[in-house]
Amino acid sequence: MQAEVDIHNNIAAYPWHSLATQQVADQLASGTCGLAAEEARQRLTSYGTNALPLPRLPGFLRLFLRQFISPLIYVLLAAMLVSLVAGKFADASFIGLILLINALIGAVQEHHAHRSAQALRKLMVTRARVMRDGELSEIPAEELVPGDLVLLVSGDRVPADLRLLDSVGLEVDESILTGESLPVSKCSEALCEAETPVAERTNGCFAGTLVSSGRASALVVATGLATEMGKLSRTVAGAEPVKPPLFLRIERFSKKLTLALLVAVALLAVIELARNTEPLVIFMTAVALAVSAIPEGLPMALTLVLSVGTRRMVKRHVIVRKLVAVESLGSCTVIATDKTGTLTENRLTAREIQFFDGTKVLLEGGSLAGQETPAASDSVAGVHDSSENPLVGRLARAAALCNEAEWHPLDNGDWQGSGDPVDRALLVMAYQLGLRPRQLVADWPLLAQVHYEPVLGFAATLHGGHTDGECSRLVCVKGALEKLLPMCDTMATSDGNIPLDVARAHLLLQRLAERGVRVLAFADGNLQGECNFTGEQLHGLNLLGLVGMVDPLRPEAAAAIGQCRTAGIHVCMLTGDHPHTAMSIARELRLADAGDDPVTGADLSRAEAEGQQSLDALTAHTRVYARVSPEQKLTIVQSLQRQGQFVAVTGDGVNDAPALSSAHVGVAMGEQGTEVAKESADLLLTDDNFASVVAGVEEGRIAYQNIRKVIFFLISTGAAEVVLFVLSTSFALPLPLTPVQLLWLNLVTNSVQSVGLALEPGEGDEMRKPPRPPDESLFNPVMLRRVMVSGLVMGGLAFGCFYLLLAGGWALDAARNSVLLLMVLFENVQVLNSRSESRSIFRQPFFSNPLLLLGTLAAQGIHILCLYSPLMQSVLGVSPVSSAQWGILLCIALLQLVAMEILLLLGKEKSTSTA
């Protein structure tokens, strides 16, 4: 009883894989008849349901409130409070309205993204075949409890963590858990050490994995959060989130903006105090300066840029779950990608056939999609004609006959396969080589067979031929080369059968294995005499050749990695596969060179034991990681982050979830990805294509460029207002613009045009530039120089206009009216200057962004309408102007265009001389 209590308390950590099957049954008080129904109900109450808690979707109110968590928003809230204290209710209302609109846009966008991902909620299978009270029944998988006896067959999704009692030919696809691309052979009789890692526990199956072939009975040893999948789920939930790159940059930008504002306000206060100005007037002037300096429209513009990027990414097969992730992907300096299902198709394919006389046949494709029905076509794939080479025909015949899989053509031209992945791949190979397996089976009917079992290491079939009389039958065998060699006396060549050369066979196997492919050997022969077919009768056969099988690369993967290299992004591959397999894939992708070596999980463990410095030195330049555990993937990501890298992680399995959650941006596969991976990610790929990640990087970089364009536009016009105010105050002039007029500039005319900037298309060279340094501020030297020149030119010219008008005897309201119109015209010109940091306005396609042109005309049109609107005349203090006055002000505004073109020209000359 005490032992049962201990197991109940520690079931998640109990080493079931180290116990014999009878010991497991005894400890769980179960057996071949399963549990009694009443006992199962009691255990369900004790252990809980066999399900992982679904993540709670954030409500709209929570999403809405989350939009206010931003340093820039804090500054605006402070400005709004200051306006309220000062009694400037119109100013405070304008700022509050813009914050409200910004929060609504962001919340609606994120709510829509969550709904797009909501179809991915189910984590575990819904039904399981289980023995209860000695009878087989099918129950919801959520009702499974430790001790239940579960039956598995090919195609089943494993419903819980199991310890095998009995198995026949069982192979399980564990790629979503361990990253291992090939199915893993399982054996119920195997015993493992207590410390054996999950990927090497051959006597157990784990929740969420897929039975590729065979059948088994097993006892449930862990359910729900106690499963290996559940443990990873808890790791993801406890992962410490990192701030997105854009948030970090905005945070630094906001601090600098606040500091600059405080300096300007202090300077202004000192000047006014020296002139014995009343404190209330100084305070009101400071509020006006704050309103002019703070870009009230920036939060809404940023949200708009990210929303536009989100829609563009959807068109390129990327669903954005968090707005800020749009820019995060564009800022990444490292992409740590899973191999299986991300760079590869997670589909076993026959790649090449090697014969012992040096003959080699390379196979392309590996899919029957879109091909004709085999019965109607002599060559489905048309890659090779086996009739031209008898060796190819014999091996293809053996592969098609010694096979338990099937392919069925569908009405839409696609094909649906069933059975073991290896057998399915061999049937595709037979079709590619011009055979018609169904006709072949009809010509050579199956008489007997030896099913594949891991202990045997081979499968064999016996077929009847066309000869009557004596029992002379065709034998076909496939399996590991070391298992087939004792059965063979000869080996096939183009010149006929020759005596078996074991050394030659092993050399050929070694060459294939070094390239990371899975190798199967094939043999055939005749069985004489009685047809009592057993494995012991397999001798005197002829060794035909070897078939190399791989998980093929996605067609676009190599080109996508090449784009990353051009864009200065370091790509590293993280996989649970064997190092040979990992390096073979990496070299084929040109991700690794011939002299590169993979870093294994054992290497990482040793480096981690030596300290963070040793670990960081190991991960700094590594491109291929093999045999790494889920926890080590997280370790790699954290190490790269410590080195100042912005890390994007891609993956599809449960084993990728912790790293996805902790990266700056996590990208999960939307089609084949597991629910845990999808919930951990910021972005989802709808086509599971690594090339879409690169497309997302490009869109992210475009979004970041547009953010910089919008910031430059808003800050430069704000800087002009500050220059205008400081100069006016320094020369003892009245305020050149009222706070309401400043808000009109910042929230209405500016915002209308910033919408157009948010929609700017890419300039075409985004993926030919290196990533921006992670510690680079939004306000880098280029932007600082452009803002200073713009602010001085626009602010200085506006002050000159204001000064001359007052000196010429104009009334204060009339002078302000002209200055306000001039500032609107400056904005119209400046928005065109903001389209590129490095290209002249005259070298850009003028009509490539029609919405920007419409926004510019709209901003000017709205202001002109206000000049004639009695309501806006009273609110803004404006009045109509003559066409001659408008023309003069436009000519003054165009001087800003000339100034920016000169600055751009000087910048190019400086960079050329430096080079």
| Active site residue ranges | 338
- Decide the pairing of beta strands 624-626 and 599-600: parallel
* Residue 123 to residue 252: CA distance in whole angstroms: 40
* Residue 504 to residue 835: CA distance in whole angstroms: 67
Residue 409's region, left for phi above 0, alpha for psi from -120 to 50, else beta, is beta
Structure tokens of 324? 């800020």
* Residue 238 to residue 164: CA distance in whole angstroms: 31
- One DSSP character per residue, 370-388 reads TPPPGGG-S-SS-S--GGG
Structure tokens of 356? 């012992």
Chain-centroid distance, C-alpha 314 = 13
Task: Name residues whose C-beta falls within 8 Å of residue 664's C-beta, 6 or more positions apart in sequence.
Answer: 242, 244, 245, 328, 331, 332, 641, 646, 647, 648
Q: What are 846-853's contacts with CB under 8 Å, separation 24+?
A: 848/761, 849/756, 849/759, 849/760, 849/761, 851/755, 851/756, 851/759, 852/753, 852/756, 852/757, 852/759, 852/760, 853/756
Instruction: Answer yes or no: are the C-beta atoms of 475 and 527 closer than 8 Å.
Output: yes
* Residue 786 to residue 792: CA distance in whole angstroms: 10
Task: Give me the helix-helix angle, 298-315 and 750-758, nearest 10°.
Answer: 20
* Residue 425 to residue 405: CA distance in whole angstroms: 9
Q: What are the angstrom distances between the C-alpha of 495 and each of 112, 198, 355?
A: 67, 48, 12
Interior angle at CA 451, CA 447 and CA 452, nearest 5:
145
For residue 612, give the H/E element and its range. helix 612-619
Residue 430: φ, ψ to 5°: -60, -40
Please give the span between the terminal C-alpha atoms of the chain, in angstroms, as a whole number.
81
* Residue 435 to residue 426: CA distance in whole angstroms: 11
Instruction: Answer yes or no: are the C-beta atoms of 442 and 412 closer than 8 Å.
Output: no
* Residue 749 to residue 236: CA distance in whole angstroms: 45
Structure tokens of 783? 């932007």
Work out the number of other CB atoms within 10 angstroms of the CB of residue 120: 16
**Helical segments of 117-244, H only:** 175-178, 228-237
Quote the strand ranges of 174-292, DSSP E. Answer: 184-185, 204-205, 210-222
* Residue 308 to residue 323: CA distance in whole angstroms: 10
Q: What is the DSSP letter of 151?
A: E
Q: What are 504-513's contacts with CB under 8 Å, separation 24+?
A: 504/356, 505/356, 505/481, 505/543, 506/481, 508/354, 508/356, 508/546, 509/481, 509/546, 512/352, 512/354, 512/546, 512/548, 513/580
Q: Which residues of 367-377 are buried (b: 16+ CB within 10 A; e: fewer)?
A: bbeebeebeee
Instruction: Answer yes or no: are the C-beta atoms of 424 and 405 closer than 8 Å.
Output: yes
Instruction: Answer yes or no: are the C-beta atoms of 85 and 284 closer than 8 Å.
Output: no
Structure tokens of 645? 């890298």
